[in-house]
Every structure is written in C-alpha cells, then in structure tokens.
Structure 1
Amino acid sequence: MSPRSASVNEELRRRSRERLLQATVELIGERGYEATTLADIADRAGAARGLVSYYFPGKRPLVQSAVHRLMHMTLSAALDSQQDLSDGHDALARAIDAILSLTITHTKVMRVHMAGILQAEGFIQCPEQQQLAALLEQSVARYGSGHATEDYRLLRALLMGAVVALLLPGAPMPLASLRLELFQRYGLDWQLGMPPQGEPPVRR
C-alpha cells in the first residue's frame, strides 16, 4: 500500500469513528442508555454494525469515548474563542465553564457518563479522554501551575465532583454556587470565562 493510500484509509477510519461517537451522543441524549443499542448507533452513523465492535469493546466504552470527545470539542471551542490568549486565569475559567455548561445542556448524556465511570469498567483512558486531558492540563499550565500534571488531576476530580452535584437527583446544587466555589478555589474573578447571567451568589 502506498503512503497516500495509507493516509486516505487512516482519514476514512477517523471519520467513521467520529460519526459513531457523534451518533452515540445524539441517541443517548434522545433515548437514554438502555434504549440505545449498538445497532441503533451504527444505523444513525451510516456504518456497518461490525464497525462498532471493531473500534469499541462494548457500549460503555463507546459512550465514555463519545462523551470525552464532546467535552474535548466543547473545551476546545471555548478556548479558541478566548480573545486574550495570554490570560491563563481566563483559560482556566473557560475550562471550568465548558465542563459545567455541558452538564446543563446535555444532562442525560452526562448522567449516563458519570454512572458509567462508577460501574465496574471504571474510568477508561481512550484516545478521546487523552485529548481532553491534554487540553485541561494545558489550561492548568497556562494558569501558572508549576506541577501541571498533578494539578490537572486535582482539577479533574473537582470538576467530576461538581458535575455529580449538578446531577444529583432530588437535591442538585445550583450551577452558580458550584461555579463560585471552583472560581474561589483558584482565585478566579467571576467575570472571567463565560459567566452565567445574573449576579454571582452571595455567601452568607
């Protein structure tokens, strides 16, 4: 196989994988986890059923990869829209806002994702998760951390905790309160990033 043919095949595989991931997010958001089958995902993506099994060992890993891709794309778009690229505090604020906002706009998808992480399969370090991790770690480094890898893990844990608090059935925490808590933890001004409408909550 020529180098050009190999490159074309690689691009086709990448596009097929991305169509499957996009279809997964769409269907989970519409139907939920249990009502979405791998065959449904393949049909929505316009792919053969066997292609899903070729890329992913099961539905849970597929969902995790799909949500990690969604998170990475959302975070990437948020950082790309940043006007002052030298402002590391704004970069971290945008990273926090990007993840919290997904919990509001894709509640069903994020609930399925968090439930999957707590299942036996646990946290899957797929290529999409690694891309997300790299972007979050870059945001922490731009913020000024001298130990970006270690501090990224702490940020990831704090964000996961905030997402769970937003999704908690019967007793969800308000987005503004969680945002304020995270922003104060990192010394970020409320107006940085993509602040929600209204005044910041007042601590009593």
Structure 2
Amino acid sequence: MSPRRAAVNEELRRRSRERLLQATIELVDERGYEATTLADIADRAGAARGLVSYYFPGKRPLLQSAVHRLMHQTLAAALEREPRTDDGAERMARAIDAVLGLTRTHTTLMRTHMASILQNEGFIQCPEQQRLAALLEDTVIRWGAEDPPEDYRMLRALLMGAVVALLLPGAPMPLASLRAELFQRYGLDWKLGVPPEGEPPPRI
C-alpha cells in the first residue's frame, strides 16, 4: 500500500471513530445509557454495527472515550477562547469552569459517566483520556505547579469529586459553593474564568 493510500485510510478510520464518539454523546444525552444500544449508535453515526466492536470492546468503554473526548474539546475551547491568555491563574479558572459547566450542559451524560467510573469498569485509559490528561497537566504547569504529575492527579481528583457532588441525586451541592472551594484551593480570584451570576459565597 502506498503511503498516500495508507494516510487516506488512517484519516477515514479516524473520522469513523469520531462519528461513533459523537453519536454516543448525542444519544446518551437524549435517551440515557440503558435506552441507547450499540446499534443505535452505529445508525446515528452512519456506520456498520461491526465497526463499533472493531474500535471499542463494549458500550461502557465507548461511553468513557466519548465523554473524555467531549471534556477535552470543551476544555481546549475554554483555554483558547478570546481573549487568549498565557496567564496561569486565568487558565486554571477556565479549566475548572469548563469541567463544572458540563454538569449543566450534559447532566445525564456526566452522571452516567461518573457512575461508570465508580462501578466495576473503573477508569479507562484511552487516547481521548490521555489527551485530556495532557491538557490538564499543561494547565497545572502554567498555574505554577511544583510537582506537575502529582498536581495533575490532585486536580483530576478534585474535579471528579466536585462533579459527583454537583450531580448527586436528591442532594446536589450548589455550583457556586464548589467553585469557591476550588478557587480558594488554587488561589484564584472569583472574577477569573466564567463566574456564575450573583455574588460569590461569603467565604471568598
């Protein structure tokens, strides 16, 4: 096979995989996890049913990859939006707001994702998760982390905890309060990022 032909095939595979990931986001948001089948996802993506199994060992891994892709895209857009900045505190604020914001724009999807991680499937290392991790680690580096790998893991843990608290059925925490706690942890001014409407909690 010629290099050009190989490159074309690789691009086609990449696009097929991304269509499956996007279809998963849309369908789980619309119908919920249990009501979404792999056949539904393949149909929405315009792909053969066997292609899903070729790329993903099951529906849970597909879901996690899809959510990690969404988180990476959302985070990248937040960090690079105008006015662009290299200021570490502003970028950390944008990162926190981007992740917490997904609990409002994709509530069903994020609740399903967190439940998947906390159940037997655990945390799946996939290409989408690795790209998300690289972007978060870059964020803590620009913020001024002394130990970037450890500070990345701490940021990831804090964000996951905040997302769970925001999505807890029957007893969700207010977004402003959790944002305030994270901003205090990282020494961020409340006005950075995309602050929610209203006054900040009294402790800030």
Residue in 2 that maps onto 1:78: 78
- Using the alignment, how far apart are the partners of 1:8 and 1:194 within structure 2? 40
- Using the alignment, how far apart are the partners of 1:50 and 1:119 within structure 2? 26
Shift of 1:84: 4.8
The residue type paired with residue 11 of structure 1 is: E
Superposed CA RMSD in Å reads: 1.0
SS in 2 for 1:116: helix
What are the equivalent positions in structure 2 for 1:38-53 lying under 5 Å apart? 38-53=38-53
After superposition, the C-alpha distances for 1:57-98 in whole angstroms (9 at most, x for unaligned) are: 000000000000000000000011152522100001111000
Contact 1:82/1:91 (CA < 8 Å) preserved in 2? no
- Using the alignment, how far apart are the partners of 2:82 and 2:154 within structure 1? 24
- Using the alignment, how far apart are the partners of 2:150 and 2:82 within structure 1? 25
SS in 1 for 2:201: coil
SS in 2 for 1:155: helix
Shift of 1:47: 0.3
Residue in 1 that maps onto 2:168: 168
Residue in 1 that maps onto 2:188: 188
Percent identity of equivalent pairs: 78
- Using the alignment, how far apart are the partners of 1:180 and 1:169 within structure 2? 21
- Using the alignment, how far apart are the partners of 1:62 and 1:86 within structure 2? 33
* TM-score normalised over the length of structure 2: 0.98
Contact 1:180/1:190 (CA < 8 Å) preserved in 2? yes
Shift of 1:118: 1.0
Q: Which runs of 5+ in 1 are unaligned?
A: none
SS in 2 for 1:35: coil
The residue type paired with residue 12 of structure 2 is: L
Residue in 2 that maps onto 1:56: 56
What are the equivalent positions in structure 2 for 1:75-154 lying under 5 Å apart? 75-154=75-154
- Using the alignment, how far apart are the partners of 1:110 and 1:191 within structure 2? 26
- Using the alignment, how far apart are the partners of 2:108 and 2:6 within structure 1? 38
Q: Are the structure 2 counterparts of residues 44 and 84 from structure 1 closer, same or farther at C-alpha, using a change threshold of 3 Å? A: closer
